[in-house]
Chain A
Amino acid sequence: MSTVIAPVRPPLILGSKTYHQITEDICTPTERTPSIEWIVGFIVAVSALGLYFFCVTWTVWNGIGSWGLNRTVGWGWDITNFVWWVGIGHAGTLISAILLLFRQKWRTGVNRAAEAMTIFAVICAGQFPIIHMGRVWMAIFIFPYPNTRGPLWPNFNSPLFWDVFAISTYFTVSLLFWYTGLVPDFATVRDRASGFRKRIYNTLCFGWTGSAKHWQRWEALSLVLAGISTPLVLSVHTIVSFDFATSVIPGWHTTIFPPYFVAGAIFSGFAMVLTLLLVARKVLHLEEYITLEHIESMNKVILLTGSIVGVAYLTELFIAWYSGYVYEQFAFYNRVFGPYWWSYFGMMSCNVLSPQIFWSAKLRRNIFVTFFMSIFINIGMWFERFVIIATTLARDYLPSSWSLYSPTLIEIGLFIGSLGLFFTCFLIFVRVAPVIAISEIKAILKTAGDQYIGPNATHHDDATKQNEVVVTAAK
Chain B
Amino acid sequence: MEFNNQQGVWIGVEDLSGDETFIEIAKQEFVSFPEAISEGKEMDGFTPNRRDFLKYMGFGLGAATIAAGCEIPLKRAIPYVTKPDAIVPGVANYYASSFVKGGDYCSILVKTREGRPIKIEGNSLSGVTKGGTSARAQASVLSLYDVNRIQNPGGIKDGKVDGKGNWSDLDKIIAGKLNAGSNVRIVAHTIMSPTAKKALAAFTAKYPNTKVAMYDPMSSAAILLANEQNFGDKVIPAYHFDKANVIVSFGADFLGTWISPVEYAGDYIKNRKIDNPEEAKMSRFVQVESHMSMTGSNADNRILVRPSEQGAAIAALYNAVAAGSNGSGVSAPAVNDRAAKALKKVAQELLANRGKSLIVSNSNNVGEQMLVNATNQLLGNYGATVDFVGASLQRQGDETGVQSIIKEMNNGGVDAVIIWGANPVFELPNGDQFKAGMAKARLSVSFNEVMDETTAACQYAAPMNHFLESWSDAEPKRGYYSLIQPTISPLFSTRQAEHSILQWAGAAPQTEQPMYDYVKSVWQTDMFPKQTAFSSFQAFWDSTLHDGVYEAPQSGATPAFRGDLSAAAAQINKPGTGLEISFFETVNMGSGQYANNPWLQETPDPVTRTVWNNTLALPLKYNGGRDYESVNNLKDGEQAEITVNGKKYTVTINRQFGQMENTTAIALGYGRTAAGYCGTGVGTDVQSAQGIGAGGLTQYFASGIQLSGKTGTDKKFASVQYHHTMGVHAAGKKDYNVDEAMIGFQGGLVERSVIRQTNLKEVKKFVEELKDERAEFQKLNSYTLYPGHMDKYTSGHHWGMYIDLNSCIGCGACTVACMSENNVPVVGKTEVHRHHEMTWLRIDRYFYGDVENPNTVYQPMLCQHCDNAPCENVCPVNATNHSSEGLNQMAYNRCIGTRYCANNCPYKVRRFNWQDYTTADIFPWNERDLRGETIGYNTEMPYGADNLTRMVLNPDVTVRSRGVMEKCSFCVQRIQEGKLTAKRESRQLREGDIKTACQTACPTEAIVFGDKNNPASKLRQKTDSPMNFIVLEEVNVKSNITYSTKVINKDETLEA
Q: Which residues on A are within 8 Å of B, measured CB to CB? A: 61-65, 68-72, 74-75, 129, 132-135, 138-139, 141-142, 152-155, 157-161, 164, 243, 246-249, 326-327, 329-330, 333-334, 337-338, 393, 396-404
Contacts and interface: CB of A to CB of B under 8 A. Distances in A.
Contact of B722 (A132, A329, A334, A402): A402
Contacts of B745: 329-330, 333-334
Contacts of A398: 754, 844, 861, 906-908
B60 interface: no
Contacts of A403: 722, 835
27 contacts: A63-B916, A63-B962, A63-B963, A65-B836, A65-B928, A71-B908, A71-B910, A74-B900, A132-B897, A132-B898, A133-B897, A135-B963, A142-B876, A154-B877, A158-B876, A160-B900, A246-B873, A246-B874, A248-B1035, A327-B752, A338-B743, A396-B906, A397-B752, A399-B846, A400-B842, A400-B859, A402-B722
A416 B747 CA distance: 41
B136 interface: no
Task: Report the 8 A-B pairs with minimum CB-CB distance, sorted nearest first.
Answer: A65-B914, A70-B835, A65-B915, A74-B899, A400-B844, A401-B908, A160-B876, A138-B896
Q: Which of B751, B842, B896 has the most CB of A within 10 A?
A: B896
A397 B754 contact: yes
A248 B963 contact: no
A247 B878 contact: no
Contacts of B1037: 248
A402 B859 CA distance: 15
Contacts of B744: 333-334, 337-338
B844 A393 contact: no
Nearest to B1034: A325
B896 A152 contact: no
A69 B723 contact: no
Nearest to A394: B722
Contacts of B723: 399-400, 402
B1035 A164 contact: no
Nearest to B866: A248
Nearest to B932: A65
A135 B896 contact: yes
A393 to B, nearest CB: 6
Contacts of B908: 71-72, 396-398, 401
Contact of A71 (B896, B900, B911): B911
Contact of B748 (A141, A246, A326, A396): A326
Given A141-B877, A160-B900, A70 B861 contact: no
B925 to A, nearest CB: 9
A71 B902 contact: yes
Contacts of B859: 400
Contacts of B749: 399
A64 B754 contact: no
Interface in B805-853: 831, 834-837, 842, 844-846
Contacts of B754: 397-399
Contacts of A401: 721, 844, 907-908
Contact of A64 (B846, B910, B963): B963
Contacts of A70: 834-836
A343 to B, nearest CB: 16
Contacts of B902: 71, 74
B781 interface: no
A401 B846 CA distance: 11
A64 B914 contact: yes
Nearest to B873: A157
A330 B877 CA distance: 32
Nearest to B835: A70
Interface of B: 721-723, 725-726, 743-745, 747-749, 751-752, 754, 831, 834-837, 842, 844-846, 859, 861, 870, 873-878, 894-900, 902-904, 906-908, 910-916, 926, 928, 962-963, 1032, 1035, 1037
Nearest to A393: B903
A142 B912 contact: no
Given A70-B835, A155-B878, A333 B914 contact: no
Contact of A138 (B726, B897, B903): B897
Contacts of A69: 899, 914
Nearest to B914: A65
Q: Which interface residue of A61, A153, A249 has the most chain B CB atoms within 10 A?
A: A249
A155 B904 contact: no
Nearest to B901: A74
B835 A72 contact: yes
A62 B722 CA distance: 27
Contacts of B834: 68, 70
Nearest to A248: B870
A391 to B, nearest CB: 13
B266 to A, nearest CB: 26
Given A65-B914, A142-B876, A398-B908, A135 B894 contact: no
Contacts of A399: 723, 725-726, 749, 752, 754, 846
Nearest to B831: A65
A334 B743 contact: yes
B869 to A, nearest CB: 10
Nearest to B913: A63
Contact of A326 (B747, B842, B845, B904): B747
Contacts of B907: 397-398, 401
Contacts of A330: 743, 745, 748
A338 B915 CA distance: 30
A155 B882 CA distance: 13
Contact of B874 (A65, A158, A396): A158
A249 B904 contact: yes
Contact of B877 (A155, A243, A396): A155
A16 to B, nearest CB: 56
Most chain A CB within a 10 A radius of its CB, from B845, B897, B1037? B897
A432 B1035 CA distance: 55
A71 B912 contact: yes
Contacts of A68: 834
The residue in B725, B754, B878 that gathers the most chain A C-beta atoms within 10 A of its C-beta is B878
B904 A247 contact: yes
A63 B926 contact: yes
Contacts of B846: 399-400
A142 B904 contact: no
Contacts of B900: 74-75, 158, 160, 243, 247
Contact of B1035 (A71, A132, A397): A397
B561 to A, nearest CB: 47
Nearest to A133: B897
A74 B1035 CA distance: 20
Nearest to B925: A61
B878 A153 contact: yes
B876 A248 contact: no
B906 A249 contact: yes
A259 B202 CA distance: 87
Contacts of B751: 326
A213 B875 CA distance: 49
A400 B861 contact: yes
Contact of B896 (A72, A142, A153, A157): A142
A403 B908 CA distance: 11
Listed residue (A68, A142, A164, A397) with the most chain B CB atoms within 10 angstroms of its CB: A397
Given A64-B963, A132-B897, A249-B904, 19 more contacts: A62-B915, A63-B913, A64-B897, A65-B915, A69-B899, A74-B899, A74-B900, A75-B903, A133-B896, A134-B897, A153-B878, A154-B876, A158-B876, A160-B875, A248-B906, A334-B744, A399-B725, A400-B723, A400-B846
B657 to A, nearest CB: 14
A135 B877 CA distance: 14
A70 B912 CA distance: 8
A358 B876 CA distance: 42
A221 B810 CA distance: 69
A146 to B, nearest CB: 15
A132 B903 CA distance: 14
A74 B908 CA distance: 10
A154 B894 CA distance: 10
